[in-house]
Amino acid sequence: MTDSASPRTPDVPDKPTVDGLEDKWDAVWREQGTYAFDRERALSLPREQVFAIDTPPPTASGSLHVGHVFGYSQADAIARYQRMRGKEVFYPLGWDDNGLPTERRVQNYYGVRGDHSAAYDPDFTPPQQGAEGKSVKAADQVPISRANFIPLCEELTVEDEKAFESCFRRLGLSVDWSQTYRTIDDRSRAAAQQAFLRNVERGEAYQAEAPGLWDVTFQSAVAQAELEARDYPGAFHRVAFHDGETPLFIETTRPELIPACVALIAHPDDERYASLFGKTVTSPLFGVEVPVLAHPAAEPDKGAGIAMCCTFGDLTDVIWWRELQLPIRSVITRNGRLQGETPDWIAGGPGEQLYAEGLAGKTVHSARVAVVDALRESGDLDGEPKATQRKANFFEKGDKPLEIVTSRQWYIRNGGRSKELREALIARGSEIDFHPGFMRSRYTNWIDGLNGDWLISRQRFFGVPFPVWYPVDADGETDYDRPILAAEASLPVDPQTDIPAGYSGEQRGVPGGFVGDPDIMDTWATSSLTPQIAGGWSVTSDAGGRNDAELFDKIFPFDYRPQGHDIIRTWLFSTVVRSHFEHGSVPWTGAGINGWILDPDRKKMSKSKGNAVTPEEVLRQHGADAVRYWAVSGRLGNDAAYDEGQMKVGRRLAMKLLNASKFALTMGDAPAVAALVTHPLDRSMLAALAQVVTDATRSYEAWDYTRSLELTESFFWTFCDDYIELVKDRAYGSHGEEAAASARAALRIALSVQLRLLAPFVPYATEEVWSWWQDGSVHRSSWPEAAECGVTDADDGTLAAAGAALAGIRKAKSDAKLGMRAEVTALTIAAPTAIQQLLRSAEADLRAAGKVTADPHYVDGDAVEVSDVALTPPPPRN
């Protein structure tokens, strides 16, 4: 709801300043509930008059950085505009406080790490508190139980979230702070578990024993969306397999996987190997027979053109294994070492001793060295390894290449293995208005490139547990084929402490009893449900007491999802997947994609790279309005440089707004009534402003808030530098009361309109000025309409012409090295005939502003140009 303007006698401070405005107005907004969401009003309005935002919940792990300020300021400018357009804005904010980033911070902060095998210590005290910005080596971290580790995560995230809220409040985000949530709170856990259970019931989620990406450092599975391809040093090894007495050479960067080889693969059109397809060869060192097979993914021009398929060296191996129905011969385990027992297919063969004595239990690197040494000795290594840079998959937060290990994990279908689902999810993307539009292609390209379903299991501690137990048979074996699913009414549950129906606590982990699923969900599996969590989607148990089916039905799908382009593949896509399954719709109708912040080397700023700037000091140094100005100067979709110079421009704008407003409001009593505006110069100014309102509104409606700011700011500086200077003398009454009333009314109309145009960008300075002469908040006032300017005709150019002439007079004084108080005793103004007429209508204002004591001499010209200026130095100041 917007408030109607209610002018009163101005109360203007003697020395306006932008300093301290954040503390002053945050307290007022908090006390008055300026940005509170009015649920009852929202329910009473047509849907198009409600604007719901699915705000990104920042990861609560340490500190924010300026990238957050950048993106959130842009989203806030949209929210403020929609609110001023009279819409009821649903603008919640959550904290993404579960998952790996939180655990890493806890590990470093307290010097501990979670260990499933550690016993609970009721008197545990962390060995340290602090170590900000430092990484504690794993060997120095104290292993503690899950029950000891999780409370430390909860404790630290709460403190981080307080700091985040303080920063966002200072930035001036107009969120409703009563509408906050945590992705680890009871409601979020219940919502995530309920959505998962329904995915399972509908066949959209399933469990499988399958090869998956594994980070040996973090001891957790990794999804395709979390991959990052990096160059990694390696070497090509030319190795001989054996076709009887004939060597068959392959080239590999991973000779340590020879004991895991299940086939050699070449392209079906490669004539070099056509005669071998369907036959078998034996592996070097181990003498294991493997088939030679054809597959179109083989690359004839790479290396020898024939490659080992090992289980598993890379994702291509997984494709070959699956499509050619090959056996699994895994040797690399979850800890990044080769398995300790000699595999069955090697036992009894020529490589049994080599494996048992040289490879068992070794790291990948040590095993590689041992295999290469053995290949040299056997004569199966042709030449020496040739150094190369190979592309390897890393977990985006990891430091070591990922391995592919076979394990039991939960998956959600996402089109990676179903053409029909893939096409349906691509079609969903066409229902979303991406801003800018080209970002839709990133969404589509990501789906087209999927090669597997969404792996949502994580072998970590602090997250949403799977609401699943498994029966243990009489022999003590876990029966994964008959999972015991929690009832929705019981959510949230923790299968490590809670007991499934029909069992007792004594039956945990014993024959005939049960075990809880030890894993947690990927953090995206929870944050993919932010519209449901924040919007009141009904959770059967009503955990957290925030069910609101009536509101959810009103606002879902939401209107807007602001986010970065780097997480289109994760957060945006996963949210679409969950909504598609649960609701048969998109989660929102619009998505605004912001760019990255770049450091001086044009690299993305990020905490993990150590090149990010934290916003707290920047906000203190430059002020929130200045920082917001820099942020909204960047368009959606565009990366932007971190630029404190731009922030200084923003601070100057905010300060000028205060000072110019002080002048406009201290010109004596004059109501902002358009009928009083009679002077041609005043009407020209208001006509130009009316056009700015029209164009700025059109830009906002096209999601181009930056253009709206550019138009408004350009006019504002013309208003300050030209219009105010031109009418100052008249506004003081030197040309009569009617002329003064026209100037004063025009000044106040223009001030009211410009304050509202600038309010989404510089909320503190505009609120401060508004409070000098208006009741209520500028942020609850209505967005300006062109009709408020009271001029129906287009701008005739009087202000532009007078401004150009004034600029010419100023230049003449500057060129003569005289101050602006110098008098002009003669001048010539060249201009087209029509423009001369405009200048004559504003001549009195021009002469007063330029200290012109003689009548100007007008001559014809193509443009306004001032010449032949005679100047008299000003008298010295007393």
| Interacting residues of 466 by C-beta distance below 8 A, sequence separation 6+ | 193, 196, 410, 457, 495, 517, 519, 520, 521
| Look-up of token digits 């009852």 | 40
Domain total of the chain:
4
Residue ranges of alpha helices (H) inside 404-555 are: 419-429, 439-448, 523-527, 530-535, 549-555
Residue ranges of alpha helices (H) inside 406-548 are: 419-429, 439-448, 523-527, 530-535
- Cα–Cα distances in Å, from 409 out to 212, 521, 634? 9, 10, 42
pLDDT score, position 398:
77
Answer left, alpha or beta for residue 205, where phi above 0 means left and psi between -120 and 50 means alpha.
Answer: beta
Separation between Cα atoms, residue 418 and residue 874, nearest integer Å: 83
Task: State how far Cα 549 lies from the chain centre.
Answer: 28
CATH number, residue 784:
1.10.730.10
Confidence of residue 133 (pLDDT cuts 50, 70, 90): low
How is 41-98 classified by DSSP, letter by letter? HHHHS-GGGEEEB-----B-SS---HHHHHHHHHHHHHHHHHHHTT-EEE--EEEB--
601 CB-contact burial (10 Å; exposed 0-12 / middle 13-18 / buried 19+): exposed
Do the beta carbons of residue 417 and residue 453 sit within 8 Å?
yes
Do the beta carbons of residue 312 and residue 404 sit within 8 Å?
yes
> 333 and 392 share a domain?
yes
Instruction: Check whether 438 has a pLDDT greater than 60.
Output: yes
Residue ranges of alpha helices (H) inside 172-293 are: 186-201
831-845 per-position pLDDT tens digit = 999 999 999 999 999
Domain edge (last residue) among 331, 365, 396 = 396
pLDDT score, position 878:
65
> 140 and 248 share a domain?
no
867-877 per-position pLDDT tens digit = 999 999 988 77
Provide, rounded to the nearest whole percent, the portion of the chain with pLDDT above 90. 82
With H, G, I as helix, E, B as strand and everything else as coil, classify residue 506. Answer: helix
Task: Provide the annotated binding site.
Answer: 607
- The residues with which 395 forms a beta bridge, in sequence order, are 227
pLDDT score, position 260:
96
Residue 725 lies inside a defined structural domain of this protein: yes
612-668 per-position pLDDT tens digit = 788 999 999 999 999 999 999 999 999 999 999 999 999 999 999 999 999 999 987
> 664 and 784 share a domain?
yes
Q: What is the mean pLDDT of residues 224-230?
A: 77
Separation between Cα atoms, residue 149 and residue 139, nearest integer Å: 17
pLDDT score, position 401:
87
> 240 and 137 share a domain?
no
Do the beta carbons of residue 803 and residue 719 sit within 8 Å?
no
Task: Provide the annotated binding site for ATP.
Answer: 607
Domain edge (last residue) among 149, 184, 208 = 149
> 271 and 369 share a domain?
yes
How is 705-718 classified by DSSP, letter by letter? HHHHHHHHHHHHHH
Residue 206 lies inside a defined structural domain of this protein: no
> 745 and 845 share a domain?
no
> 267 and 386 share a domain?
yes
> 247 and 358 share a domain?
yes
| Look-up of token digits 């004591």 | 853
Do the beta carbons of residue 699 and residue 640 sit within 8 Å?
no
Residue 509 lies inside a defined structural domain of this protein: no
Residue 222 lies inside a defined structural domain of this protein: no
> 789 and 811 share a domain?
no
Return the structure tokens found at 661. 């407003």
> 762 and 842 share a domain?
no
Provide, rounded to the nearest whole percent, the portion of the chain with pLDDT above 70. 98
Residue 774 lies inside a defined structural domain of this protein: yes
150-193 per-position pLDDT tens digit = 999 999 999 999 999 999 999 999 999 999 999 999 999 999 99
- The residues with which 533 forms a beta bridge, in sequence order, are none
Helix (H) or strand (E) segment spanning residue 471: strand 468-471
> 771 and 807 share a domain?
no
Separation between Cα atoms, residue 563 and residue 72, nearest integer Å: 9
pLDDT score, position 132:
56
Separation between Cα atoms, residue 171 and residue 618, nearest integer Å: 11
Separation between Cα atoms, residue 268 and residue 320, nearest integer Å: 13
Confidence of residue 605 (pLDDT cuts 50, 70, 90): confident
223 against 3, higher pLDDT: 223
State the DSSP code for 631: H
The CA-based diameter of the chain, rounded to the nearest angstrom, is 113
Answer left, alpha or beta for residue 599, where phi above 0 means left and psi between -120 and 50 means alpha.
Answer: beta
Return the structure tokens found at 502. 């029909």
Instruction: Check whether 102 has a pLDDT greater than 90.
Output: no
Residue 727 lies inside a defined structural domain of this protein: yes
Separation between Cα atoms, residue 745 and residue 738, nearest integer Å: 11
> 812 and 679 share a domain?
no
528 against 229, higher pLDDT: 528
Residue 535 lies inside a defined structural domain of this protein: no
Domain residues for 696?
653-796
Confidence of residue 65 (pLDDT cuts 50, 70, 90): confident
- The residues with which 238 forms a beta bridge, in sequence order, are 251
How is 344-378 classified by DSSP, letter by letter? TTTTTSTTHHHIIIIITT-BHHHHHHHHHHHHHHH
Confidence of residue 546 (pLDDT cuts 50, 70, 90): very high
Domain edge (last residue) among 396, 428, 451 = 396
State the DSSP code for 828: E
Do the beta carbons of residue 411 and residue 565 sit within 8 Å?
no
Separation between Cα atoms, residue 537 and residue 528, nearest integer Å: 13
Instruction: Check whether 736 has a pLDDT greater than 70.
Output: yes
Average pLDDT score over the chain: 93
Do the beta carbons of residue 501 and residue 148 sit within 8 Å?
no
Separation between Cα atoms, residue 797 and residue 788, nearest integer Å: 19
Residue ranges of alpha helices (H) inside 409-535 are: 419-429, 439-448, 523-527, 530-535
Residue 829 lies inside a defined structural domain of this protein: yes
